[in-house]
Chains A and B, each alone.
Chain A
Amino acid sequence: MPTINLNKWVLQSLTKLNEQELQDFLFRLKSEVSPINQDDYSIEVNADRLDMLSLGGIVRAIKGISDQEIGEPKYKTSETDYVLEVDRVPSRPYALACVIKNAKLSPEFYLKELIQFQEKLHDTIGRRRKKVAIGIHDLKKVEGKIIKYTLVPLSTTFVPLNQQTEMTVGQTLKETQQGKAYGGISVFNGQSPAIMDEKGILSLPPVINSDRTKISVETDSLLIDVTGTNFDSVVQTMDLIATGMAELGAEIGIVKIKGMDSEFSPLMKHTEVIANLNDIMNRLGISINGDDVIKLLRRMRMEAELQDDKIKVTVPPYRVDIMNYTDIAEDIAMAYGYDNFQLNSAITRGQGSLSENSLLYRKLRSLLIGAGYTEVYTLILTKSGNQRGDFVQIRNPISVEYDSVRNSLVWSALAFLSNNQHSRFPIKIFEIGDVVIKDDKSDTLHSNEPRLVVAMMDSRVSYEMIQAPLHEVLFNLTGITPSYIKSENELLIKGRSAEISLKGKKLGIIGEVSPEVLEKYNLLYPVLLAELNLNTLKEAL
């Protein structure tokens, strides 16, 4: 979940709410607020509510849910003489711009908050600037009224943000911190996308702005550019910023667009969702009349009207998360309050069942525990160095200790015993669990396979010490007498190793672990062991 920091006093005074009230209302808006120091709150915002990543957006939402201001706010907009000419930029084709007048960037907290909003949008809807990036400029430092979005050669020079001297675009991409982080995203045919005014580069999307048009607490009007690879996301980002600023008192100045489908910007895109009231009430399981539904939606800062048994909702530009009627239903539920749902008395009752595997495991567990074996429960991920044969290797492990998925429970059992050589003897353990094996019949090319491992370690051991209890367990479980066929297995001592079968089906192996294997696991005591495939066991039942 994205987190933003906001000034406590500013938020409290803009919403006219104290800390406890803020906590309660933000909880109802999927958010959590906690003080981080004397002056600041940290606010967790849910990933869908991009509008709430800004001070303006949060204030707008809180005023609504606390019933101070409802419906969609009317923001001041006006025409400007600014024009954005969009050239063909195949690697990043979409660009919009807008002018913001009477922007509130002072005291410094407001400036920081705007930059924070920009960064949060980069990380979320912008997918780390790949999909969308935003440039913010001091309008008074922009030369001329014609702004161009075009490709420039890497040799073009300008002063990047916070640099002292002119650099080429190529240098900027290679040498500045932002250049290194984002430089590779949109370079196309040895050229970089750029937002230009009459004098030169304003910004190098999605990398960096120019130092020339840098904003400060003295700035009161802005030029904002948004570029990206997805038109809808560019539109939404532009609308989110413009409405966020407007909520704090700014005026939105419209810029003419040339070279794109849209002729002006911001689009302030409204959408309509028409839903059957009954569908919504059925989905929620509550009953509210149409007028009250409209009131609830207005508290979520949306306008709506009734049309017979339907409701028509006008989704404002800042609610980019709303897709269709289910989202409207959630907003109604949130405004209604999740706490106000009258819960049904015990609606769930029994006729459920355990899976076949769970039932089998329970029988096996109780028999093995009766035989004096202690159940262990180990991790599925393990060190590939411990395994033999074919196993699933993780391509992006975070540690060599856990870089593969176990293909046998034997490795888990031996590692467990190795860890317990100073414990009280004898040590008798079992584990029932899944391993993963390659399986071309599966659509994932792999399958889980349930296995049982039984193992025993003591100062002296003999084959029957594990064969006898396992024999009784299998007989009691299946009613079939297991049979044993001498076999060779590289894990076990030659002549002390057998295959266990039930009705001719090979279940697994049993025997005494070979000293070579013990040595590999740093085991200094003899170990007896059996591993069975429980799928085969089920087939024999």
Chain B
Amino acid sequence: MLSENEIKILEFLKRKGEAHVQEISESTGLPVSTVYSNIRLLESKGIVKIVSEESKKTFQLTAEGTLRLENGLPEDRLISILNGKEMSIKELKDLMGKDFDLALGWARRKSLIVLENDLVRPKVAQYASPELIGLREVSVGKVPSKETLDILIKRKLVEVKEEKTMLVRLVQDVKPRPVELYLTHEMLVSGSWKSVDFKPYNVEANPPFFPLGKGHYFREFIEKVKDLLVSLGFTEVSGNFVETEFFNFDMLFQPQDHPAREIHDSFVVEGQGRLPDPNLVVNVREVHEKWWKYSWSEDNAKRLVLRSQTTSVTARVLSTKPKKIRSFTIGKVFRPDAIDATHLIEFHQLDGLVVEDGYSFRDLLSTLRDIFQGLGIKQIKFKPGYFPFTEPSVEVYGFIEALGWVEMAGAGLLRREVTEPAGVFSPAGAWGIGIDRLAMLFLGVKDIRDLYSLDIEYLRSRRVI
């Protein structure tokens, strides 16, 4: 099969028998380089023969060479400006501009001047350099002496061009078939495809951009975490962002004057929520007043905040008095903080809850081990911790190759002061894991803001894990 260009060349050769590449280029209108590549193809197919190949060197002035031919070489100009008298460097610099350094260099190399302090003294009154004569020769197509030519090339005043030429002869007559761009339905119906050739595509070139539909990489990570929890026997639950302090704090046994309840630690929303079942409220009041020894206020408990922990969802689950449950929730929590590469004012927590007869602290540690193993963190250690709503409490540290031990979760058995007011009398374990930080470790993200990137090219560039 022959391309359109090959056919053009062959048609010309059929008339001429043999021809030079330049001739073929002129008459077909194809660039010389295209003719070359097509001749090579035709030769490989045995259709043409390359009779002879030769190359010829020609010399041409460079842009600078042309300029120098017109205005003189810098050292020539220097001598002419000096005109037999000495002048200061500063004066010469002002006269010659950026050419001065060049002129000085060449004039010294050629011993045309002497430098004394900041004075330039000429050793000759006049000077015409051989380079200038060489330039003149090149400009009219003559070849200067080899010595001059070498200097001109070195000074980048003249460049060498190598021109190839090739004599080609047609050796085999071929009848070209029509070339088509598209194979069509009609061709297949009529069978005309049998007598045509198809234009080859540049199959090796990179394609144009294609907008791919793609899941968000952080959402995918969250879905994986959900799958893990489901595989461990947990049922997903969820809650609202706007929450009463009752569920965000009071039910979790956080006294109303606890520093974590101060205004700068949660986002406040206008309005007053409603309290749940009066029995629950009375019970919560009782444990607060008994153990924290203050007068518990319903008004404080009704205040609305953006939940600062997903443990509020756990509190709501408890308020349904489950006898036995394994639940989890992954969702956003909100906390006032300075925004930087590792802090945002909203981020995800994974909160889990187990209510089960006979569930012990050891079972809780084992559950945490299962979760972290499922997440791919094989090495963990437990540190005693403190949360107002759990006792015993534990902080889980995971080992990450590049970082060492990293705090990953807080957990504990819920205090009876939390479960019993809600009407839950079996032991209950609970934990919270910061998901954003974990995702950053797994996804190689250095800046937490990239998890919520507004740059589509960044999302397009993320590898799917």
**Residue positions of A touching B, CB distance < 8 A:** 27-30, 46-49, 124, 127, 130-131, 230, 232-233, 282-286, 323-324, 326-327, 329-330, 333-334, 338-339, 341-355, 357-358, 362, 365, 368-381, 392-399, 402, 405, 415-416, 419-420, 423-429, 434, 436, 442-448
Asked if B363 and A344 make an inter-chain contact with CB atoms under 8 angstroms apart, the answer reads: yes
- 14 more A-B residue pairs beyond the given contacts A362-B223, A377-B452, A443-B244, with a C-beta to C-beta distance below 8 A: A27-B383, A285-B361, A330-B391, A338-B382, A338-B384, A342-B362, A343-B366, A346-B366, A352-B328, A358-B223, A369-B214, A379-B346, A445-B304, A448-B238
Kindly list chain A residues whose C-beta atoms are within 8 Å of the C-beta of B263.
396
Residue B285, interface by CB 8 Å: no
Known: A358-B226, A416-B454. A127 touches B259 (CB 8 A): yes
Most buried by A among B218, B337, B362, B370: B362
- Select one of B212, B328, B338, B358 contacting A282, CB under 8 A: B358
Interface of B is mostly: mixed
A226 to B244, CA, bound (A): 35
Nearest B residue to A128, CB-CB: B259
Asked if A355 and B362 make an inter-chain contact with CB atoms under 8 angstroms apart, the answer reads: no
Kindly list chain A residues whose C-beta atoms are within 8 Å of the C-beta of B455.
419-420, 423
Asked if A396 and B268 make an inter-chain contact with CB atoms under 8 angstroms apart, the answer reads: yes
Residue B84, interface by CB 8 Å: no
- Select one of A47, A347, A371 contacting B370, CB under 8 A: A347
Kindly list chain B residues whose C-beta atoms are within 8 Å of the C-beta of A396.
263-264, 267-268, 336
A443 to B304, CA, bound (A): 10
Kindly list chain B residues whose C-beta atoms are within 8 Å of the C-beta of A395.
267-270
Most buried by A among B223, B236, B460: B236
Asked if A355 and B236 make an inter-chain contact with CB atoms under 8 angstroms apart, the answer reads: yes
Most buried by B among A352, A369, A375, A419: A352
Asked if B392 and A329 make an inter-chain contact with CB atoms under 8 angstroms apart, the answer reads: yes
Known: A349-B232, A358-B236. A333 touches B392 (CB 8 A): yes
A455 to B178, CA, bound (A): 46
Asked if B267 and A394 make an inter-chain contact with CB atoms under 8 angstroms apart, the answer reads: yes
Write 9 A-B pairs (CB below 8 A) sorted by A numbering: A283-B361, A284-B360, A334-B392, A347-B370, A349-B232, A380-B241, A396-B268, A423-B456, A443-B244
Shortest CB-to-CB span from A362 to chain B, Å, is 7
A327 to B264, CA, bound (A): 30
Asked if B452 and A379 make an inter-chain contact with CB atoms under 8 angstroms apart, the answer reads: yes
Asked if B345 and A375 make an inter-chain contact with CB atoms under 8 angstroms apart, the answer reads: no
A347 to B371, CA, bound (A): 11
Asked if B454 and A424 make an inter-chain contact with CB atoms under 8 angstroms apart, the answer reads: no
Asked if B454 and A30 make an inter-chain contact with CB atoms under 8 angstroms apart, the answer reads: no
Nearest B residue to A332, CB-CB: B392
Shortest CB-to-CB span from B432 to chain A, Å, is 16
Kindly list chain A residues whose C-beta atoms are within 8 Å of the C-beta of B215.
365, 369, 375
Q: Mark B325-354, 1 if CB is under 8 A from A, else 0.
A: 010100010101111000011100000000
A218 to B394, CA, bound (A): 43
Residue B16, interface by CB 8 Å: no
A165 to B457, CA, bound (A): 68
Known: A27-B383, A348-B370, A444-B244. A392 touches B232 (CB 8 A): no
Known: A399-B339, A436-B241, A444-B240. A420 touches B456 (CB 8 A): yes
Shortest CB-to-CB span from A79 to chain B, Å, is 29
Kindly list chain B residues whose C-beta atoms are within 8 Å of the C-beta of A442.
240
A397 to B213, CA, bound (A): 36
A347 to B356, CA, bound (A): 12
Kindly list chain A residues whose C-beta atoms are within 8 Å of the C-beta of B337.
398
Residue B393, interface by CB 8 Å: yes
Kindly list chain A residues whose C-beta atoms are within 8 Å of the C-beta of B381.
339
Interface set, chain B 357-393, CB cutoff 8 A to A: 358, 360-363, 365-367, 369-371, 381-386, 391-393
Residue B294, interface by CB 8 Å: yes
Nearest B residue to A447, CB-CB: B240
Shortest CB-to-CB span from A412 to chain B, Å, is 9
- Select one of B230, B332, B346, B365 contacting A354, CB under 8 A: B230
Interface set, chain B 294-315, CB cutoff 8 A to A: 294, 304, 306
Asked if B231 and A429 make an inter-chain contact with CB atoms under 8 angstroms apart, the answer reads: no
Residue B69, interface by CB 8 Å: no
Interface set, chain B 212-248, CB cutoff 8 A to A: 212-216, 218-219, 223, 226, 229-244
Known: A342-B362, A445-B304. A30 touches B384 (CB 8 A): yes
A446 to B451, CA, bound (A): 27
Residue B72, interface by CB 8 Å: no
Kindly list chain A residues whose C-beta atoms are within 8 Å of the C-beta of B272.
445
Shortest CB-to-CB span from A483 to chain B, Å, is 25
Residue B182, interface by CB 8 Å: no
A413 to B55, CA, bound (A): 63
A-B pairs with the 5 shortest C-beta distances? A285-B360, A285-B362, A330-B392, A348-B232, A446-B242
Most buried by B among A368, A378, A398, A429: A398
A448 to B240, CA, bound (A): 5
Residue B408, interface by CB 8 Å: no
Residue B291, interface by CB 8 Å: yes
Asked if B232 and A352 make an inter-chain contact with CB atoms under 8 angstroms apart, the answer reads: yes
Kindly list chain B residues whose C-beta atoms are within 8 Å of the C-beta of A423.
455-457
Kindly list chain B residues whose C-beta atoms are within 8 Å of the C-beta of A355.
236-238
Residue B459, interface by CB 8 Å: yes
Residue B207, interface by CB 8 Å: no
Residue B271, interface by CB 8 Å: yes
Kindly list chain B residues whose C-beta atoms are within 8 Å of the C-beta of A324.
416
Shortest CB-to-CB span from A67 to chain B, Å, is 17
